[in-house]
Amino acid sequence: MKKQIKVVGAVIEKNEKILCAQRGQGKSLADLWEFPGGKIEQNETPQQALEREIKEELLCEVSIKNKIITASYEYDFGIVELTTFFCELIEGEPKLTEHESIKWLPISELSTLEWAPADIPTIDALVKGA
């Protein structure tokens, strides 16, 4: 039985563009793009986990809006269940602490990047809703 890993991702919007983050070297799925976020800790709601992860990873604060989608993807290291939320940047500018780089792209250009497989259903949902 593979390990179940529940994670959250932030679709941060600013000026009609979405924040895309490239995973760092030495991490699983290195160099692939993702929506920033991370694991939900015990006794945390998905929203609490996302607020904490964005503060830790990007040194900024977001306001969490509506849920976009929950999707699962089976990797060799486990099954990742990713729930993504629309978020608005409310304080600070994203800074690189864990990621290789970040980009702001319109929804129409998201598919030009090589995304981690668990993030692709969110992109599909964004494109359909755009």
Query: Locate tokens 């990713």: which residue?
Result: 82
Question: What pTM, to 2 d.p., does this model score?
Answer: 0.94
**What are φ and ψ of residue 99, in 5° steps?**
-90, 155
The 10s digit of each residue's pLDDT in 70-111 is: 999 999 999 999 999 999 999 999 999 989 999 999 999 999
Q: How confident is the model at residue 130 (pLDDT cuts 50, 70, 90)?
A: low
How much is the mean pLDDT over the chain?
Answer: 95
* Distance between CA atoms of residues 70 and 87, nearest Å: 15
Distances (CA, A) of 124 to 55, 64, 127: 27, 20, 5
- Predicted pLDDT of residue 63: 96
The 10s digit of each residue's pLDDT in 25-80 is: 888 889 999 999 999 999 999 999 999 999 999 999 999 999 999 999 999 999 99
- Predicted pLDDT of residue 25: 86
* Distance between CA atoms of residues 124 and 36, nearest Å: 17
Fold of the domain spanning 4-129 = Nucleoside Triphosphate Pyrophosphohydrolase (3.90.79)
What residue segments make up the domains of the chain, in order of their start? 4-129
